[in-house]
Structure 1
Amino acid sequence: MDEITLVRDLGEETALPSSQRLAASRMTLMSEVAPVAKKSRRWAALLTAAAAAVVAAVAIPQVVTTPAAQPAPPAASAPEMTPVAAFLNAAATTAAKEKDVVPRGDQYLYLRFVEFDGTLNEAWLSIDGQHDSKGRGEDGDYHVFRGEPIPRYLPDMPTDPAAMSVWIKKYVKDRTGADHLDAINKFIGVLPTTVWMRPAQRAAFYRAIGLIDGNRLVEGAQDSRGRTGVGVAWVSPGTTEERVLWVFDEKSHTLLGTKDSSLDRIALVDRIDQKG
């Protein structure tokens, strides 16, 4: 199924789509465990002060007693991140450094990806959903699809992780009728490549996903091209099966794609058939 038909139908689905149907959309996130703050040591300073006090007592007949210095209270430490949250936090930091571009309504979200069978696929999706889009149909040929009411840029998408968590829950509920974690994790896999996110939005999105219970890291995950990275996987309640949503480059923390479809290019263009 092509990218455009997928998004049209996805609102009516909560079950995890098949590899063939979501090869173009299921792109998927992590980071190294956040560094632990080092505690400062004050022993050398205290010993030096003690030695100075002894010298003063010998040299001066009258001993002056001063209150002992009290150690500073320990600084409050930030809650320790889970491995998946720490990795996605690093991915968010990388995403936040991208160039910030606000799309025009008459532009297109250009996607170029490599399918699980090696096929190169492209799509031009209308930003405001009011213009024609283009993508590969089920027959394998490219077709122009008349304007669909599916915007590819959502300006109301928050830039704060906590607000993003609330937004994601509502977004999924509006489209699937469900807001439990299983429905959310099955739905969010397509968002990074079917919606244009500005850097701050994408960073908040990654950090919000890192806080969802049931998500975990999968070392040695591979995208459709065989590139090895770190996978972000979801395990449905009551099961042990890991469903990899995204695969990230381990060092750069950039999104590679999934085992079924790897991302080659995502960009804004001004017209259909323009390469990003």
Structure 2
Amino acid sequence: MNEMRLLREWDAEAPPLTDHARARARLRLYETMTAPATPVAVGRRPLLRIAVAGVATAAVATTVLVANDSSPHTRPVSATAVLRGAAAEERRLEKPIAARDDQFIYTKEIIKETPLGGGRTRTYVDENWNSVDGSKRSYVSELGHKQWVPVYGPGQGTWPPSKWSELKLMPTDPRKLAIDLRDMGGKPDYTKPMKTGDWPMVQYFLSGLLRTPVLPQGLRSAAYEALATVPGIKVVPGQKDADGRAGIGIRFVPAPGASRSPLLVFDAKTYRYLGMRDQRTAGGKTYEQWSYVAASGVVDRVMERP
């Protein structure tokens, strides 16, 4: 496309953007693309296309149905309580991962997809081998479509970072993590208070971070706790995960005209994270999706499993 060629050549001699600066620029582009005048179909996996809340409001508490061993009962629970409970459960269950630069992060993700309005459900098993330091080709699967991902060139990268060493640099203190995400591309100012307009971007990047199947110890629980401080999140009652287990949904309130945000589902009793519900549109059809990570670990080579 001529437009893409022009974009590549525009200011070609300028220093390459950092991963953080590129992510911020992509977010601005995404917000423009999802404006009411330009409807856009949102895919399942692209992290930089997660819908974000454009306005910050108070976290919403609601009454959800929670099943116990005898009979169901109701109790009021807030999004903050669920996310903090998820952080505590993550710390209890988390096993430290020590990954060498020459290894690969393996994940096995199950995706169940049904056409909106009814139809046959298809199940995909996506296995991925991502290079720990980005120096080797990765092998990934997207709804059953398998491909090799070449080594990134100078100035190239992703959000969240694909390199384990970069993920390990991210703070595991929830407050500092939120500020680091707010101040991407520059030095974080931990003395500067968060403003209402800061939260949509922080919320967006935290959501992307949580979609990464494997994170360094302490980072996922910190992300849950950071999300618990974000205004504009709400509980969605009566949810089940892909295997039919009772769950509590957490969703971010979108801006008027913005695409619907993904639904994070947590166990109704323990608040352990169960998976994600989302939609994608392709070929003029919209699909409801459930996804969850069935296995993960560190391996020495592509096609090896933990």
Cα distance in 1 for residues equivalent to 2:41 and 2:126: 17
Greater Rg, structure 1 or structure 2?
1
Cα distance in 2 for residues equivalent to 1:226 and 1:23: 26
**Corresponding residue number in structure 2 for 1:21:** 44
**Corresponding residue number in structure 2 for 1:50:** none
Letter in 2 for 1:144: W
Matched residue SS, 1:189: helix
**Corresponding residue number in structure 1 for 2:147:** 143
Q: TM-score, normalised by structure 2?
A: 0.58
The 3 A distance-change label for structure 1 pair 129 and 101 is same
Describe how 1:56-205 pairs up with structure 2 within 5 A.
83-97=78-92, 98-117=94-113, 118-136=123-141, 140-148=144-152, 149-150=157-158, 151-153=162-164, 154-171=167-184, 180-194=198-212, 196-205=214-223
**Corresponding residue number in structure 1 for 2:253:** 235
Matched residue SS, 2:249: strand
**Corresponding residue number in structure 1 for 2:231:** 213
Contact 2:213–2:293, Cα closer than 8 Å, also in 1: no
Shift of residue 201, structure 1, vs aligned partner: 1.8
Cα distance in 1 for residues equivalent to 2:101 and 2:47: 23
Shift of residue 265, structure 1, vs aligned partner: 2.1
Cα distance in 1 for residues equivalent to 2:185 and 2:108: 25
The 3 A distance-change label for structure 1 pair 163 and 252 is same
Cα distance in 1 for residues equivalent to 2:300 and 2:275: 25
Q: CA RMSD in A?
A: 3.6
Choose between structure 1 and 2: higher strand proportion.
2
Cα distance in 2 for residues equivalent to 1:274 and 1:18: 35
Q: TM-score, normalised by structure 1?
A: 0.63
Query: Out of 263, 273, 276, which is 2:293 matched to?
Result: 263
Shift of residue 202, structure 1, vs aligned partner: 1.6
Cα distance in 2 for residues equivalent to 1:172 and 1:222: 39
Cα distance in 2 for residues equivalent to 1:274 and 1:172: 36
The 3 A distance-change label for structure 1 pair 239 and 180 is farther
| Structure 2: 5+ residue stretches without partners | 1-18, 35-39, 51-62, 64-76, 114-122, 188-196, 278-288
**Corresponding residue number in structure 2 for 1:252:** 270
Q: How many residues are paired up?
A: 211
Shift of residue 254, structure 1, vs aligned partner: 2.2
Contact 1:246–1:258, Cα closer than 8 Å, also in 2: yes
**Corresponding residue number in structure 2 for 1:49:** none
Matched residue SS, 2:182: helix
Q: What percent identity do the matched residue pairs reach?
A: 24
Contact 1:133–1:146, Cα closer than 8 Å, also in 2: yes
The 3 A distance-change label for structure 1 pair 135 and 173 is farther
Contact 2:233–2:253, Cα closer than 8 Å, also in 1: yes
Deviations 1:32-65 (Å, cap 9, x if unpaired)? x9xxxxxxxxxxxxxxxxxxxxxxxxxxxxxxxx
| Structure 1: 5+ residue stretches without partners | 1-6, 27-32, 34-81
Shift of residue 264, structure 1, vs aligned partner: 1.6
Deviations 1:141-190 (Å, cap 9, x if unpaired)? 3222222345342111112111111122234999xxxx843344344333
Matched residue SS, 1:22: coil
Deviations 1:101-128 (Å, cap 9, x if unpaired)? 2322222222211223211111111121
Contact 2:213–2:296, Cα closer than 8 Å, also in 1: no
